[in-house]
Amino acid sequence: MRVLVIEDDQETAAFLKRALKESGHVAEHAADGEVGLDLARTNAYDVLIVDRMLPKFDGLGVIRALRTEEIHTPALILSALGEVDDRVKGLRAGGDDYLTKPYAFSELLARIEVLARRTSPEEGSTRLVVGDLVLDRLSHKVTRAGEAIMLQPREFRLLEYLMKHAGQVVTRTMLLENVWDYHFDPQTNVIDVHISRLRSKIDKNFEQPLLHTVRGAGYTIRDSAH
Amino acid sequence: MTALTKLFRTTTFRLSLIYLALFSGAAVIAIVYLYWNTTVLLSRQLNQTIDAELKGLAEQYRAGGRDQLVRIVAQRSRTPGSSLYLVADKNEKQLAGNLSAVSPQLWDSVGPVEFFYSRPAPGGMERRLAFANVFRLPGGDRLIVGRDIEDRQELSRLIRSTMLWGLGVMALVGIGGGYWVSRRLLARIDNLSATTRTIMAGDLSRRLPVSGSGDELDRLAQSLNLMLARIEQLMAGLREVSDNIAHDLKTPLNRLRNRVEEALREPPDESSYRDALELTIEEADGLIKTFNALLSIARLEAGAGGDHRDRLDLAALVADVAELYEPVAEERGIALSAETSGPVLVRGDRQLLGQALANLIDNALKYGAPSASQGNGVSPEVTVRADHQDGMAEIAVSDRGPGVPAAERERVLGRFVRLEASRSEPGSGLGLSLVAAVARLHGGALRLEDNEPGLRVVFWLPLERDALLNETVASPSPGVELRTS
């Protein structure tokens, strides 16, 4: 995955480049909005990581300029402004995701990996399959090894989100935002309890677990047999 | 700036001067008019009197010649309070009349003339002003008929001096009064300014003096005092918060630092390093959470945020958030139930209201379990209810825990306030203050009640119906009809 980091703080940029490289990605860096916009225009990136406050040309301006030029590279906005209003402004400018500083790198990584894959054709499919687990988005039925699994509506959506991003790490915040549409910190780790309930329904009576916990990051659903 | 220029710059003093000038002008006009009219009237009367006398005397002269004239004049001159008469021959010899010692000017003049004459008075002679008509009779004789106008002059002088004195006194009283009133006002203003400066210098407990007269300055001072009270309250809040930040952020920061230092001091070992670093990240995350909550509260209290208010159903939100927490409650062995009866429509920010509700439920789950002392009769349960009454939407979160003593209920809404009993549970003490801030932003409030046993937190805000009503009221009135001619 080729990532462009538009960030004015040298140390943060160096950290991101290093960490992305360790995760197997290629990262390039632009120190201000103008350079960033130039690079994003001329090169094909999978994801842009854009700091909101940049010298010369502000982050939202960069994204807005790209979108008017019909360049739809997924963009994640990094910002110190974390209120709902700020997030809405960021998404309205054409950003695809919004992450508030300070953040955990695992959170950032999970989000850009999901963003980069977003353009894949799987998005529109009505059947999601992971191993022997099948989720039908039309009939709202879930089966594992042919056995029907009864899920509550919210559990269904939780599983759907996980399966849509099968093989990718999904963080707790991502689940709270995308499954519940809550953009706040619920204090207690409510997501963990929901996951363990879901796990007891889809994994309990099967030898091969599909829903895995990724320590320090979140969860992933994948067929480890393959 | 000298005291006098300062005084002159006061509005009161300037107003006094302007009023003084206006009143003086009016008074001068009135007096001049009076004086002028009086003078005209008196002159006319004088002329008429003299004319009448002259006419009478002329008739006598025509009838009986000089002798008759002399006789009549002598007769009239003896009447008390009479006019002034003189008949003299061409050698200036007085033939009859009560005028004596006539000056040469009068002797030579003809027609109407003003002159001084002397007349006997108690204690000698007195000089008085007179007005007369001088005639030359055939044969060189002279007839002078006049009136004493000293009294009239006296009246004019009186009016003039009255005017001058009056104006003088008016100016004196005006300037003096203006000075006095301005000084009084200036003294009060100076007092207010001095107090304000003391307050600005940092003594926020001071208040502006109120005289008790209820005048405009008092009202201003009272308003300013209310403002000062609010500022003091805010400052106290700020001070309290910074104290609490010092405690609640510095303590974990110190812990974090100690742990890192300790890890560095120990012999190099990868697994202990890793443990130390993981704990450090955990601590940092906790700090970030506290910091975010503080920022959110500060923004909400400053009236920012909540720009995305939509029409939303509180009952649905209650069911939604309750569903989010239901597995957590189950894990803790608490029965969490959402009771709703039909939609409760409000205009609000879903994220903020959701967070507020989440905080309330989270609190109830954490601190709302019955304590051992309450015995086994109470089953652990948390109830969330969305309802509306009297035009207000209400969310009530009730638990069966130890509750909050009535005296503490106000205090727990403050930032970083944690009851001693709850210190064992993790938390920042910011949850309820965030909820209260969300309620205030939505035009509502938070109230804590006794659930007998347990705590019931009621979060209320205006129903959407009111918002709709207000919109209708605020809609523009139909346009004014245009008339064509």
The pLDDT tens digits of the residues spanning A42-53 come to 999 999 999 988
CB contact under 8 Å between B292 and A185, yes or no, is: yes
Query: Distance (Å) from the C-alpha of residue A200 to the closest C-alpha of chain B?
Result: 13
> Do A158 and A89 belong to one domain?
no
> Do B316 and B454 belong to one domain?
yes
CATH number where B103 lies: 3.30.450
The answer to whether residue A215 neighbours chain B at the CB level (below 8 Å) is no
> Do B448 and B326 belong to one domain?
yes
pLDDT digits (tens, 9 = 90+) for A156-185: 999 999 998 988 999 999 999 999 989 888
pLDDT digits (tens, 9 = 90+) for B85-96: 888 877 777 788
Q: How many domains does chain B have?
A: 3
Domain of A137 in residue numbering reads as 121-221
Strands A218-221 and A211-214: antiparallel
> Do B274 and B329 belong to one domain?
no
Looking at beta carbons, which residues of chain A come within 8 Å of B327?
190, 193-194, 196-197
**pLDDT at position B481:** 36
The pLDDT profile of chain A, 226 residues, written as one tens digit per residue, is 899 999 998 999 999 999 999 999 999 999 988 999 999 999 999 999 999 888 888 899 999 999 999 998 999 999 887 677 788 888 888 999 999 888 888 899 999 988 887 655 555 678 899 989 999 988 999 999 989 999 999 999 999 999 989 889 999 999 999 999 898 887 778 999 999 999 999 988 888 899 999 987 899 998 876 5
B187 occurs within a structural domain: no
A21 occurs within a structural domain: yes
Boundary-marking domain end, from A93, A117, A141: A117
Residues B458 and B398 sit within 8 Å (Cβ to Cβ): no
* Cα angle B82-B87-B90, degrees, rounded to a multiple of 5: 160
A226 occurs within a structural domain: no
* A window 149-168, beta carbon within 8 A of B: 154
B191 occurs within a structural domain: no
Residue A167 φ then ψ, to 5°? 85, -15
List the single residue in B327, B349, B365 with the smallest CB-CB distance to A194: B327
How long, in residues, is chain A? Answer: 226
CB contact under 8 Å between B305 and A85, yes or no, is: yes
> Do A199 and A155 belong to one domain?
yes
> Do B260 and B401 belong to one domain?
no
Boundary-marking domain end, from A117, A146, A178: A117
Tokens 């930032």 label which residue?
Answer: B415
Tokens 């009221």 label which residue?
Answer: B473
CB contact under 8 Å between B324 and A82, yes or no, is: no
CB contact under 8 Å between B427 and A182, yes or no, is: no
Can you tell me the distance from the alpha carbon of A217 to that of A169, in angstroms, rounded to the nearest whole number? Answer: 7
**Would you call the peptide bond into B268 cis, given omega within 30 degrees of 0 as the criterion?**
no
DSSP, residue by residue, B137-182: PTTS-EEEEEEE-HHHHHHHHHHHHHHHHHHHHHHHHHHHHHHHHH
Return the H-helix or E-strand segment holding B407: none
pTM for the whole structure: 0.64
- Under 8 Å CB pairs connecting chains A and B tally to 65
